[in-house]
Structure 1
Amino acid sequence: MRKPEIIVTDNGFAIVQAKATDAVSLDEVGEIIAYKIDELTTDLLCCDIVTGSGDGQQIRTIHEEIPGFDALMVRFETLPGFNSKWRDAVILPPFATNRTTIYNRAATAA
């Protein structure tokens, strides 16, 4: 069984899994929320990527153990208003969730 993988594309990214590939354009990304999950001895960095709105809203959750995570975060840094210091905001203090909005398209458009 194929493990999930993130592939950065020219205009966005794709989350590739065993039975499906979910391609997303950067233009579709409305919000990115970063946080940690406490896994006893370590913390797992995660991001919820929000696309669409209302009934059409979708949330894709990725984490740092999925191959391609770091490359995608570097790509996200090109989004206007993206918080490039997101790791500092989420990592400390340890073992706290530290849920932080690191990108919000509506806030940058205002």
Structure 2
Amino acid sequence: MAGIDAEVLAQLPVAEVSKVAFYKRDEITTDLICCDVVVGEKVWTFHEKLPGWGALIDHLQTLPSFDANWFASVSQPPFASSETVAFAR
């Protein structure tokens, strides 16, 4: 995937998203924040270095009861496995 654009976001309709989970991958010197979005039977995987990451987060924050504190939950402690479910139906 080259980036997250309007076409990608259109395939993630808020009414059909069943789960959003954030986690990080240890990349030796840094952590890479990732996100899995479940829509129907498909899991979409994104990461923070993709162009359009901010647009994705803005889109997901419109989900009812979305955990706006997901970043604090997933980012600490550094270089340790952590996952948080920011939304689930």
TM-score computed with the length of structure 2 as normaliser: 0.90
Deviation at 1:24, TM superposition (A): 2.6
Equivalent position amino acid for 2:9 in 1: F
Equivalent position of 2:23 in the other structure? 35
Establish whether residue 73 from structure 1 lines up as the match of residue 69 from structure 2: no
The higher relative CO (CA closer than 8 Å, separation ≥ 6) is in 2
The DSSP-based 3-state class of the residue aligned with 1:47 is strand
Q: Residue deviations 1:58-98, cap 9 Å, x none?
A: 11100001100112102211111100011000000111121
Given that 2:14 and 2:62 are in contact with CA atoms closer than 8 Å, whether structure 1 keeps it comes out as no
Higher share of residues assigned strand: 1
Equivalent position of 1:64 in the other structure? 48
What is the percent sequence identity of the aligned residues?
A: 39
Aligned length: 89
The DSSP-based 3-state class of the residue aligned with 1:24 is coil
Q: After TM superposition, what 4+ stretches of structure 1 lie above 2 angstroms from structure 2? A: none
Equivalent position of 1:5 in the other structure? 3
The DSSP-based 3-state class of the residue aligned with 1:6 is coil
TM-score computed with the length of structure 1 as normaliser: 0.74
The DSSP-based 3-state class of the residue aligned with 1:45 is strand
